[in-house]
Structures are given as C-alpha cells and as structure tokens.
Structure 1
Amino acid sequence: MRRLLNRLLPKSMRSGVVTIPVIRLHGTIMTGGGQFRPTLSLASTAGVIEKAFADADAPAVAISINSPGGSPVQSRLIYKRIRDLAAEKNKRVLVFVEDVAASGGYMIAVAGDEIIADPSSIVGSIGVVSASFGFTELLKKVGVERRVHTAGKNKAVLDPFKPERKEDVERLKALQLEVHDTFIDLVKARRGVKLKDDPDLFTGLFWSGKKGLELGLVDALGDMRTVLKERYGEKTRLRLITPPRGLFGRRLGLFGSGGDGFSAPDIAAGAARGLLEAAEERSLWSRFGL
C-alpha cells in the first residue's frame, strides 16, 4: 500500500526515489531493417533517445549497448544525437556494455560520460572494414555476359562481376583511412588521457571488458542495476524507454516505416534484400564469436 501511495505522489514528493530512463541499443547499425529484423540507425533510435532525455527529474540517462557495429555514418549520427541532448538537457550519460560494443557499437558507447562493461564483454575494434564477393568466374560457368554502360569511367568501380582493379582497391583503402581517422579522433576526444599508450589500440583489435578497463576503453566493470543502485540509492527505479505504439499497437520508429499493403513483387524483393542484409549482419556478429 505504501509503495502504491508513493507512486501516486509527484516525483518531487517521493522520499529517496530516483528514476533513471534506460535505452536499449541492441543490434547491427545500418539503415533499413524490417519488422522482424530490427537494426539501429538514427531514424530508428531518435524517438527513444529524445524521450529518455525529456525526463526533467532524472539525473542521468542509462544506455545499454549490444552491437557489433555497422554503418560508420549512422554510428556517428546516433553518438552525436546523444551528446547533443546530454549537453542541452544537462544530463549525465552512463553506458553499459552487454555482449559487445565493437566498431560502430563502440563509437556509440563513447557518447557516455562513463562506460561500464561486463568483464566478459567485447569492446574495441576501432577500425573500418569493407567486404564483398567476386562472381567473375561464376558468370563464365553459367554462360552469362555482363553488360555495364556508364557515363564516367569510374561509375562501375568495384563491380563484383568484374575483376578487381588495383587503382580501385587503392581508392577504397584511402577512403577507409579517412573514415578511420574520424573514428580515432572521436575516441581520443572523448576518452582523452584515460587511453593507454598501446600500439594496437587503433588497429581494429578487440578485447574483453576486463582488458578494455586496463587500456582505458572503459571506466569500470559491472552491470546496470547494481551500478545505478550503488550510485543513486537502493530505491532507484529503472524505466525502460520503448518506441511509441501506433493505432493498432505496432511499435513505431524501430522497425522502419512504410505501408502495410505489399504486392508479391514487393515481398519477393524484400525477401531477397533481407537475405543479403541478414548475411551481412551475421558476418558482423560472427567476427566476435557471437
């Protein structure tokens, strides 16, 4: 009865109760995704992020991260939205790493004023990777002729049905280096003197949460509930922020948008695209044994 009455009172009148909004950012980072295979992007996460920071009484926002990475652009956009709102609302951001915060997942994690990881979690992988397949021999075997017509000699760069050209690969690597430099600068700006002088830190290697603590990639080891209760008291409540629901109970802003009427070609195209995206997603997780 006392607990019920306490909940009915305004937050300012509750004795010793602190409520911390919690955001779960779990999944690969890429645009697209679908109803049954959610992914992380600014479009899919902006709503829950803004809702969490809108709680005027909360002293902090807690973010749970479990991501092997993905799009560097979407990773940075999510990172920036978190930092912009933290500055605007004067909120402390506490990031908690579950299984993995690697590559783009770690880029988002450094938005935290503190990063707390499970000792057995995986952190790091500060690097950039591009992967594809080559099908040049397959076309010969099935008797298919590839016809590509372009206006601009570089419009068909890295076509998977044509042999790789040395100059194309060099251009791709140069682009990767620029993106990698942006990633490194961001991590250094956020982690600063906490980072240890280790030659492998920015090579794309990844470590356990325990080793990440030694390297300065994380600030502490632990789990969300224990840390928040130690920080704000035993009466601390965790409030999970979820995407808003539409008219028929479907969650919005997490699984993409679009109409509910699909034609057979739409379904077929979506299935084919989904298989490719699922393969890409699986490859990201498998790099970390997950």
Structure 2
Amino acid sequence: MEWIADYGVFLLKSVTVLVALIVFVGFVASLSQRQKGDQREGRVKIQSLNDDHEDNLDDFLASVLEPEDYKRHKKDEKKTKKAQAKASKKADKKADAEEAARPRVFVMDFDGDIKASAVEGLRKEISTLVANKAEGDTVILRLESPGGMVHSYGLAASQLDRIKNAGIKLIVSVDAVAASGGYMMACVADEIAAAPFSVIGSIGVVAQVPNVHRLLKKNDVDVEILTAGKYKRTLTVLGENTEEGRQKFIEDLESTHDLFKAFVQEHRPNLDIEAVATGEIWYGKEAVNKGLVDRIATSDDLILEALQTSQVFRVSYEQKRTLAERLGFAAEQGVVKAFEQLWAQQSKRWF
C-alpha cells in the first residue's frame, strides 16, 4: 500500500509538471503570435437563430408535455408539413418568395478590452455584411465595453459608421456597460437599447503617468531625455516634470475631450452634451432620461422581437487556434480575470 501511495504521489507530480509545461509553452506561443500579428485566415460564420429558436421550443415542449401529448403534437405537425408539401408548385413558390421577402436581422457581438482588440473581427464581419447587403437589413450589435485607448475606440466607432453609410439600420444593445469609448461606439447607432442597470456614459478623458524622478534623484541616478520639438515629451516617468509640460498635457486632454463631445453631438444632436460630458456614468433608466439611450430593453428582448417577423442570423468571425495557443490563451485569460475581479472589488458600486 505504501508503494502504491508513493507511486500515486509521483504520478500526480509528473502530471502537474507536464500540465504546467504545456500551459507555459501555450502561453509563449499565444504571446508570440500576438506580437507578430495574427496573419492566419479566418472566416465569417453565419448561424440561423430562427432554427435554434425552433429547436429550443421543440425541446421545451418535449420536457413539459406528457409523452402522449408530445407525440400527438409531433404527429399534427407532421400532417401540417405533409399537407403543405402537397400544395401546388405555384403556392410553394409563393411561400418561398414570402420567406425570402422577410427582412434580415444580423446579430453581432463586441466585447471590448482596453485596446478594443475585438475590432479586428468586427471589421471583417461588417465587410461581409456590407458586400452582401439587401434592402431592409438591420444589425443588432450586442456591445459591452468600459472603454480604453482613444485611437482604438475611434477606429471601432468608424467601423460602425460603415454600417450606417451602407444604408443598414444599426441598433446597439447594452446589457452591462457602454462607457467612455464604449459609448463612443454606441452613439453611432440609429437606436440604443440598454438594460435597466447597465452602465452608460463616462464621456470624458483620463490619463495617469507615474513619476519616480525624486526616488532616482535621491539615489543619485540621473536621467537624460533628449527631444527635438518643444512638446515632443510633456510628462515623463523618469525625468523631472515641469509645470509647462503639465499644462500642455492637460491641454491635450481637453482637446481630446472636445473631439469626443463633438463626435457624440454629431450622432445624437438632441443630446445636451454639456450636461452629460462630465465623465459621470448613469444606469439604464437614468440614461434614458438624460437622452443617452432610447429605450430600456435587453438584447434578448430585441432578438425575440426580431424572431417574430424576420430572418435572424448571428454573425461571428472565427480563427482556428492550435492546442498550444488555446492553452496559453486560457492561462492568460485566467490571469486577466483575476486582475479584473480585484479591480472590480475596488472600483464598482455594489448593492
């Protein structure tokens, strides 16, 4: 028994080391691929949500009905389909035409990080839709983002403008948060729907620059920063910051804020921009009163409404990952999630 126990401990250690090695290799491979830029081909996947909805309804009936009642339901359904199949070819063509005439609704997702990394997939999805657009098309974008880098979210918002410029109606749905750069994207839409306690707004600009100059000076460490151009470097991490540089940095922030406000005002002209561009956030119902969003609804509400009258498709861009990359990505996401949870404990409002 002691030998078996020792062998079990040895086996457990070996498996642990092997798993750790695989995760490490996967993490390095994933990081290397991201640094090089992902050049692999992907594809835009289209999935019918009408079919999924019908399958879910069938599963529901199979669960709640008595076996005999469910059999009767399926039998009646089969008879109905058989009767339809016996209809004249003319009637079939008419039915096909009516089905084809139903408007199309495309559901897309954008889950934004600081760098708005999801824009790479978003631009390919939009290019596919724009190239194959039809009259009456609508896009529902399920948007979740607390914001991030100015230039990254500026590009993401410009991608949504492409949908509008193609004559496709755009509805943005916010279930959790669309703040700062996230709201910059949302305001492009023809209509914004938000869940009751979703976080909306934060129309402002923020920057933080740590400075360790005094610590270095205390330890007799000199730092030389050489620039060509008066304002090539305003605030620094290592060098001594000046009041002139600080004021220039603030001016740049204010200029960026003015651009942000002008962008929002252009897309939502009825909004009192000075009242809402204070950097504050509001929850869904408050945001409706402020004019930041148009109505209270979840993305599920919007999709169920569309399923009643339209052909509804989910659009996603997918790339194949190697096993090593999948393991590395999982490890990376675990670390990111841990930091996000720590940040949430410090910064979010709780009931």
What TM-score comes out, normalization by structure 2 length? Answer: 0.60
Instruction: Select 1:243's aligned residue among 294, 313, 317.
Output: 317
CA distance in 1, matches of 2:278, 2:256: 13
Instruction: Select 1:150's aligned residue among 201, 226, 233.
Output: 226
Other-structure match for 1:192: 269
How far the C-alpha of 1:49 sits from its partner, in A, is 2.4
Other-structure match for 2:290: 215
Query: Residues 69 and 102 of structure 1 are in contact (CA less than 8 Å); yes or no, is this contact kept in structure 2?
Result: yes
What TM-score comes out, normalization by structure 1 length? Answer: 0.72
Instruction: Select 2:192's aligned residue among 115, 118, 122.
Output: 115
Query: Residues 22 and 241 of structure 1 are in contact (CA less than 8 Å); yes or no, is this contact kept in structure 2?
Result: yes
Other-structure match for 2:111: 26
Q: How does 1:62-77 map to 2 (within 5 A)?
A: 62-77=140-155
Query: Residues 234 and 248 of structure 2 are in contact (CA less than 8 Å); yes or no, is this contact kept in structure 1?
Result: no
CA distance in 2, matches of 1:284, 1:74: 23
Pair 1:170 & 2:247 matched: yes
How far the C-alpha of 1:225 sits from its partner, in A, is 3.0
Other-structure match for 1:227: 302
Over the matched positions of the two proteins, sequence identity in percent amounts to: 25
Query: Residues 93 and 114 of structure 1 are in contact (CA less than 8 Å); yes or no, is this contact kept in structure 2?
Result: yes
Aligned Cα root-mean-square deviation (Å)? 3.7
Question: Residue 172 of structure 2: SS of its match in structure 1?
Answer: strand
Q: Deviations over 1:34-59 (max 9, x none)?
A: xxxxx344x45311222344443462
CA distance in 2, matches of 1:240, 1:144: 61
The one-letter code sitting in structure 2 at the alignment partner of 1:250 is R
Note the residue ranges of structure 1 that are not aligned, 5 or more in a row: 32-38, 252-259, 261-266
Question: Residue 181 of structure 1: SS of its match in structure 2?
Answer: helix
Other-structure match for 2:157: 79
CA distance in 1, matches of 2:214, 2:339: 21
Other-structure match for 2:48: none
Query: Residues 163 and 169 of structure 2 are in contact (CA less than 8 Å); yes or no, is this contact kept in structure 1?
Result: no
Other-structure match for 2:21: none
Q: Which one has the largest radius of gyration? A: 2
Question: Residue 106 of structure 2: SS of its match in structure 1?
Answer: strand
Q: Could you say if the C-alpha distance between residues 127 and 151 of structure 1 is closer, same or farther in structure 2, counting changes exceeding 3 Å?
A: closer
CA distance in 2, matches of 1:109, 1:191: 10
Q: Could you say if the C-alpha distance between residues 285 and 101 of structure 1 is closer, same or farther in structure 2, counting changes exceeding 3 Å?
A: farther
* Matched pairs, number: 249
Note the residue ranges of structure 2 that are not aligned, 5 or more in a row: 1-77, 86-92
The one-letter code sitting in structure 1 at the alignment partner of 2:175 is E
Q: Could you say if the C-alpha distance between residues 163 and 147 of structure 1 is closer, same or farther in structure 2, counting changes exceeding 3 Å?
A: closer
* Runs of 4+ residues over 6 Å off in structure 1: 278-286
